[in-house]
Structure 1
Amino acid sequence: MKFVRIFLKILLGLVAFILLVLAVSLAPVDDTPYQQMPYYQQTKQRLAKLPASPAPKAAIRAGWAKANITPPYSTPTGGYGARQGKHWHVVSDSIYARAIVLNNGSTNVAVVGLDLLITPPTVVEVLKKRLPEVGLRWENVYMGAIHSHNSMGGWAPGLVGQLIAGGYDETIVTRITDGVLQAIRSAQSNMAPVQIGYGQVDATDHIYNRIGDSGPTGPLDGKIRLLKLQKIANPDRTQGESALLCSFAGHATLFDDDKWNYLSRDYPGSLVDRLEKKSADFAVFMAGAVGSTGPEARGKTDFQEVRNYAGDLALRIERTIPEIQLKSDSTLKILSLPLGLREPHPRVIGNWRIRPWLFYAIYGDYPSDLKALRIGKTVLLGTPCDFSGELSAQLQPVAAKKGFNLLITSFDGGYIGYVTPDSYYNRPTYETRDMNWFGPYNGDYFKEMMMGLLNKL
């Protein structure tokens, strides 16, 4: 009997401990409409107070450059938790930080594309301190990433960072940051007057909606979107070097999770390399609205899939480029909207989510922004997430009515998981449950704020 009493005491103590842990770690989902939440009012006030851009003093000048950030040592291969931090050992292709710098005499902007899974929040925190070295502030920088799941990891601390990008290494953060600053400096050194043009071509057949297995879905934004810059060679105003900014919504996941041994830019890298051989002197790719989109690939091996996928996108781009009409323009505006969010809401059991203190302990607490950049008649909207291709498709007509060419990108600096249509919130999918980190109604909330930024421009 004594043994039984001891066992029962231990069991009751264990149950009490588990209940205590659950009480301090879990909370029910807060489904209060976002318009009634303090974070919404705060962000709306920030949007209203965003300053107007100064009047241009000259036509846009631009320069571009890239910096090789491939480390001379092996790092974790970022992108799939199933890899458990394994390192790449073969450099399939080098990775870069790429920058396009623009100036109209009153506004100075840097567009930065990273050959990484995302724009690491740790890199952003360092950049905010170091950008004055190149005469910029964070508010004047528009960032994006190619979203390759086979690029360099090691840039995120914490348990979630370990799952996404492998073991944390601060020297990798420094290496990426140094590369960004080097690319900006080099771009600033070769600026010249430019003509600007926009083009797009449909490639919807190259993507599918990964949420589709859970029920009906809406149309995706399947356009390849292009912004071309052409330098004017003085004094005869002949055409000089050209740059091409390219965005598409296909997830860069053609390398499977068992190909951790290769460092690669996936199909965006192959696409950029081809564009720089045939279509432009310089190219930069930014992942578009990739939230819930998967690539429709063809090939017997991952390497064949990459070549075929990039090759077909390149062919469509090459047919489109001659149709792009170029002209000089002086309109250059950038807005940076600090984004308030609901408390962290990763769900673990039914409609129960972990409490904020636990989320921040395993992920970190990083600020996030929405970015808006207007270059002539083209507007880039940057989001701190895997932004839904369905939401992007819904925003395109709004921009068109205002006379804008709209190019939406993901991974602008912070990272808050996936943002998908609100009606999918309770679907049991990876995108809507595992990767929805900040609760319900973010789809409509993001759309409202992004439309607000369009109105400001």
Structure 2
Amino acid sequence: MKFLRIFLKVLLGLVVFILLFLAVSLAPVDETPYQQMPYYTQTKQRLAQLPTPPLAKAPIKAGWAKVNITPPYTTATGGYGARRGKHWHIVSDSIYARAIVLDNGGTKVAVVGLDLLITPPTVAEELKKRLPEVGLRWENVYMGAIHSHNSVGAWAPGLVGQLIAGGYKADIVTRITNGVLNALRDAQTNMAPVQVGYGQTDASDHIYNRIGFSGPTGPLEGNIKLLKLRKISRPGLAGESALLCSFSGHATLFEDDMDAYLSRDYPGSLVDRLEKKSADFAVFLAGAVGSTGPQARGKTDWQEIRNYAGDLALRIERTVPKIQMQADSTLEMLTLPLGLREPNPRVIGNWRVRPWLFYAIYGDYPSDLKALRIGKTVLLGTPCDFSGELAVDLKPAAAKKGFNLMVTSFDGGYIGYVTPDKYYNRTTYETRDMNWFGPYNGDYFKEMMTGLMEKL
């Protein structure tokens, strides 16, 4: 009987502990419309107070460079939970930081593309401190990543960081940061006046909506977007050229069991081919990849990558010669610090983890929306896997302003997936597991991104 009484007391204590833990750890999802939230008012005020970009003093000059950031040792693979922190040990292709620096005498900006899963928030925080070393500020840098799920990991601390990118190593953050800074330095040593042009070509047959199984969905952004820069040379001589390429197909052609390989997936194969046939330098930025999967063809992962990149390259090669180039002086950059609802990751029904617990296992990183105008082309950068459906919704606002629009993901912070609000209660990976900041973010992001375009 004595043993039973002790057992019951221990059991009761355990139940009381669990109930107390749940009480302080869980709360109902906050479904207050975003227009009624303080973060919305604060972000609207920040948007209204963004300074007018300085006037141009000269036509745009540009330079570009890349730096190999492949570690000389193995690391965990950055590729979400499927990798489970496993290390790659075969370098299929090297990992780079790529940079394009542009200057019109009044504004100097940089576009940085990383051959990583995302732009690590830890790297973004280091860059904010160190960018003055190369004559730039965070507010004038536009970041992106290729979103390969077989790239270098180990750049995110905490439990969620462990699931996304494996065990944390501070020297990896330093290595990536140094690579970005060196690419920016090198790019500024070869700057010259450039002509600017834009082109696009349809590749919607290469993507599908990953949440389509859960019900009806809308159209996706299926165009390959191309921004071309060509250095002005002597008459009759073609100058060096750079190609900024964006597409919305998830870089997941390597299956989960291929964690042994370090690879840039199809974006790496695509960039390598573009640099042989279409431009002297190329950089790829993942577009609106939220809920967008690749339609692959091939018997092996290697064949799928080769076929996928090859077909995209063929379409680009047919498009690039048609791009009309001209000198331009328009260069504007806006960075909007983004207020957010409290974290609302759902765990049981409509119950969510409280903020203290979320920040304890993930970290609290600031996020921004970015807008970069180069001539008539506008790039909008988001701190998430941004939905291809939402990118389509932004097209009318861009057309109204006469802009060519490129929407990209992974600009420095990372808040999970942002998908259309009407899908919030669907039980899919994109709309439930990876929706970390609650309802209504789709419309909120669209409003703020449209506001940025209006400010340009």
* The two structures share one fold, judged by TM-score above 0.5: yes
Matched with 2:98 is 98
Structure 1, unpaired ranges of 5+: none
What TM-score does the superposition give when structure 1 sets the normalisation length?
0.99
How far apart in 2 are the matches of 1:368 and 1:182?
24
- 2:306 corresponds to: 307
SS in 1 for 2:51: coil
Aligned to 1:160: 160
Q: CA deviation at 1:396?
A: 1.2
The number of residues matched between the two structures is: 456
- Specify the alignment match of 2:131 in structure 1: 131
| Contact persistence 1:80–1:257 (CA under 8 A) | no
1:172 — aligned with what? Answer: 172
Deviations 1:342-387 (A, max 9, x none): 0001100000000000000000000000000000000000000000
Matches within 5 A, 1:12-161: 12-161=12-161
Counterpart of 1:304, as a letter, is Q
2:360 is matched with which residue?
Answer: 361
How far apart, CA to CA, are the structure 2 residues paired with 1:241 and 1:3?
Answer: 83
One-letter code aligned to 1:264: S
Q: CA RMSD in A?
A: 0.8
Deviation at 1:14, TM superposition (A): 1.1
SS at match of 1:225: strand
Question: What is the correspondence of 1:56-455 to structure 2 with a 5 Å cutoff?
Answer: 56-234=56-234, 236=235, 238-455=237-454
| SS at structure 1 position matched to 2:211 | helix
Amino acid at match of 1:337: L
**SS of residue in 1 equivalent to 2:390:** helix
Q: Give the partner amino acid of 2:46.
A: R
CA–CA separation in structure 1 for the residues paired with 2:36 and 2:351: 21
SS in 1 for 2:230: strand
Task: Give the deviation of 1:237 after TM superposition.
Answer: 7.5
Residue deviations 1:9-46 (CA, integer Å, cap 9, x gap): 22211111100000011010000000000000000000
After superposition, what is the alpha-carbon deviation per residue over 1:69-108, rounded to whole angstroms, capped at 9, x for unaligned?
0111101111031222111111000010000000000100
Q: Which amino acid aligns with 1:37?
A: M
Distance 2:266 2:290 in 1: 17
**Amino acid of the structure 1 residue aligned with 2:198:** Y
Structure 2 spans left out of the alignment, 5+ residues: none
Secondary structure of the corresponding residue to residue 32 of structure 1: coil
Task: Give the whole-Å Cα distance in 1 for the aligned partners of 2:329 and 2:289.
Answer: 31
Question: Percent identity over the alignment?
Answer: 83
In 2, the alpha carbon distance for the partners of 1:237 and 1:334 equals: 33
| Equivalent position SS for 1:132 | helix
CA offset digits 1:312-363 (Å, max 9, x no partner): 0000000111110000000000000000000001100000000000000000
Q: Following the alignment from structure 1 to structure 2, what is the Cα–Cα distance between the partners of residues 89 and 129?
A: 32
Q: Deviations over 1:234-260 (max 9, x none)?
A: 5x4843100000000000000011000
Distance 1:397 1:237, change over 3 A: farther
Q: Deviations over 1:143-194 (max 9, x none)?
A: 0000000000000000000011000001100000010011001100000000
Q: What CA distance in whole angstroms lies between the structure 2 residues aligned with 1:124 and 1:188?
A: 20
Deviation for aligned residue 1:397: 1.9
* Aligned mates of 2:236, 2:9 — CA distance in 1: 88
Q: In structure 2, give the amino acid aligned to 1:346.
A: P
Q: What secondary structure does 2:232 align onto? A: strand
> Is the 8 Å Cα contact of residues 26 and 355 (structure 1) preserved in structure 2?
yes
Q: SS at the partner of 2:326?
A: coil
Normalising by structure 2, what TM-score? Answer: 0.99
Counterpart-to-counterpart distance in 1, 2:120 and 2:236: 40
Distance 1:169 1:206 in 2: 36
